[in-house]
Chain A
Amino acid sequence: MRRPPPWARVAVIAAVLLVAPLPLNDFRTGLLTEILIFGLLAASLDVLVGYTGLPSLGHATYFGVGGYVAALAARGMTDSAPVGLLAATVGALAVAGATGWLAVRTRGVYFLMLTLAFAQLLFSLAVTWAPVTGGANGLSVPRFALLPGDRGLLLDGPLVFYYYVLAAFALGYFLLHRLVTSPFGRSLVGLRENEARMRSIGYSVLGYKLAAFCAAGAVGGFAGALFVQHQRFISPTNVSFEISALVLIMVIMGGSGTLYGPVAGAALVLLIRDELSSRFQHWELLLGLVFIGFVYFLPRGAAGLLRRARPAAATAGSIAGAGGQEASL
């Protein structure tokens, strides 16, 4: 049985994503937009968790930094959404560089705790620095246009905005894909599998880890900006532990070390959240049960279903590794 060529699969997925919102109402289109945004966020975290073997519990840091930069840019500077995206990506990259410089020097549970600490720091900052962040009230953001200036194609209505996010998602995902399939990306897997050997054959381990950390943070900030432009609102919730944990769950449920798995994980988690939170007050409890089921029966996540037939890349180890760190919390 011959597998179809890769471009055919990409074409099919692109076609599905292009027509998907057409039969949906505005709210569902918004949900689909949110799935793409969180899918990108989870995919960026996957570079760390799945490929490099660094279990981060603070990815909301970069999501939040990107979001606040985009919000402040929109309120103070320009209504152009792509300019805000760029500023947010640069801002998140800078913060990822600074925090990553410290974080990559640790490993395992210390790495996990340090990333969590950064996220909590930023959360406190977002709550207390009210003149800039709006504190616990958050900030409302004006409407966005595609281009700066007066003639700037207003990104109005959920459907128009969906296609904007889809384009941004395609760009972000493409870059992440290029990253992990490049020699650099293979080196990251090498780091995950045997760091001592990589060091002994001459790789700059810290440099590679820091680069991966920065890439993940930058795309995380990119996703954060998209989310704020989608919601047109930001509050410290965007930097909260809830987001960090939820994204890690998306990665693990979807299947770490695959990029597309975490996107599927994002879809799963958000659909579960939306279906359950309108019906049950304690929807997190049910999400937890589903999560346990996934980890037990599908240790490679949803992506594991697809990969079963193929020679498996050694992802199970990294999944359990990430999970193991968490258990020791």
Chain B
Amino acid sequence: MDQRKGISRRLFLQRATTIGAAAAVPGLLAACGSGVEEGAAPTATGGTTPAGTPTGAATTPAATASVTETATETGTESPTAAAGEPLKIGLLIPTGGVYASLGEDMRNGFQLYLDQHDGALGGRPVEVVEEDSEANPEVGLRKAQKLLNEDRVAMVTGIVSSAVALGVRDLFHEAQVPLIISNAGANDITRAAKSPYIFRTSFSNWQSTYSLGQWAYDNVAQEGMYVIAPDYAAGAEDIAAFRESFEAAGGTVLTGGLPPFGTTQDYQPFLSEIGNAGAQAVFAFFAGGEAITFVQQYRDFGLKDTLPLIGPGFLTDEGVLEAQGDAALGLRTSLHYTPLLDNPTNSAYVEAYEAAYGEQPTVYTVQSYDAAQLIDLALGELGGDTADVDALVDAMANIGALDSPRGPFEMDPVTHNPIQNFYLREVQEVDGGLGNAVLEDLGPFPDPG
């Protein structure tokens, strides 16, 4: 009797601990699955929710669905046989983590162009297949393989992270499937790792930062510049390009920091170093949830009033500006877009975007909008026929100027990277909210390739 009782109690304990483990493991896994690579849960929620909430509201019910049917059969005449069939396009974006709001913006921008063109590109009704890259090169590669080999998409667009872009580069190059990157700025994509099948409607990291050096030397500080960026491809390249241009102008960089990407929630060690090192100004590249955290902590640490903070405009883009609030007011950054740009295309674009999604567009929405435009125009030249991939990428390379909300945009036929102007902007109060007002047009900065 005693024995049996003992055994059953042991069994019970085993069961209990096992169930406990079962509860613990997925918890850990969930925390670390996104945590290790892309930002622990607190960052994800704390960082992206303020920016992400308005975006997610009601406008995109398909947020979790992988296949978003956007095909509309109505109103598309078929010039060729291929033109009647739906065109499958893969959309590879992060839907969680510190870059979730960027992914959402990219989906919206692409969708807006589709909605304005009866859901068709180049005369073909479009079916978008969405996959989550988790902004992790490993996951991005697996999802890209799925898009190519299982969904058999004709082309892929999206990609936020430079690391993902570099990771999937060989896959697209060898499979000879067009990839239109609508954010990731990894320099190598237009340089050493250039591919005839890969295009970019966004920027190269060099472009987005080199534009700032001379201006910073003339207007902010000649020496004692502290540089900080997350420790992954884009961060390192941004710092290198800024250093290159700032030093070419005659300035000197003091020192810098590379906080781990996606997992840093507390920038205090770096902020104290900035305070102690005798810096005269700070150059920072951050985007998405990390931009919110960094800008807020920079203010909270008392540095905002004493040391000017500059950087590529992702630091204060419209997706994070609201969450940053006063902490961002007065910051000066450089970027190839702001919704406050004064040109007719942009005015119409901002109006349409706000009507559709109830918030300001961002640089990410524009880049994806232009990706859709690039596909539309190139495919239109071929009558919607995707069979000849070489003809398609040739048409894309030689598309010339796009009518982009960002102002001048010309596809460089050699680097497959846009030649575009960069604007020096300042965060100001605009119509009761915050906006990036243009201070100066820094002119065009083509990537040297």
Contacts and interface: CB of A to CB of B under 8 A. Distances in A.
B167 A140 contact: yes
Contacts of A278: 66, 131-132, 143, 146
B26 A137 contact: no
Interface stretch (B12-20, B208-216, B266-274, B434-442): B12-20
B29 interface: yes
A168 B23 CA distance: 35
Contacts of A235: 136-138, 163, 167
Interface stretch (B32-40, B116-124, B290-298, B381-389): B32-40
A197 B178 CA distance: 65
A138 B131 contact: no
A136 B231 contact: yes
Contact of A329 (B24, B26, B66, B137): B24
Contact size range, A: 35 or more
B394 interface: no
Interface string A289-327: 101100110010000000000000000110110111111
Name, among B95, B131, B132, B137, the residue most crowded by chain A CB atoms within 10 Å (CB to CB): B137
B170 interface: yes
A52 interface: no
B261 interface: yes
A24 to B, nearest CB: 10
B141 A136 contact: no
A296 B22 contact: yes
A34 B169 CA distance: 21
A55 B192 CA distance: 45
B204 to A, nearest CB: 15
A320 B17 contact: yes
A3 interface: no
Contacts of A137: 137, 162-163, 166-167, 232-233
A327 B64 contact: no
Interface in A269-292: 274, 277-282, 284-285, 287-289, 291-292
B65 interface: yes
A245 B150 contact: no
Interface in A30-44: 30
Contacts of B149: 25-27, 30, 158
Interface string A47-72: 00000000000000000000000000
A231 B143 CA distance: 12
Contacts of B18: 295-296, 299, 319-320, 323-324, 327
B248 interface: no
A235 B146 CA distance: 19
Contacts of B264: none
Contacts of B356: none
A240 B37 contact: yes
- Sorted nearest first, the 8 A-B pairs with minimum C-beta distance are A288-B26, A27-B149, A327-B20, A323-B21, A320-B14, A27-B150, A324-B17, A26-B149
Given A136-B261, A326-B24, 13 more contacts: A27-B146, A27-B149, A137-B166, A138-B167, A233-B137, A242-B29, A279-B64, A288-B23, A289-B26, A295-B21, A320-B18, A322-B21, A329-B24
30 contacts: A27-B148, A27-B149, A123-B36, A136-B231, A136-B233, A137-B163, A140-B166, A158-B149, A233-B167, A237-B137, A238-B138, A240-B32, A242-B37, A248-B25, A274-B146, A277-B132, A279-B65, A284-B29, A284-B30, A285-B26, A285-B30, A299-B18, A317-B14, A320-B14, A323-B18, A323-B21, A324-B17, A326-B24, A327-B20, A329-B24
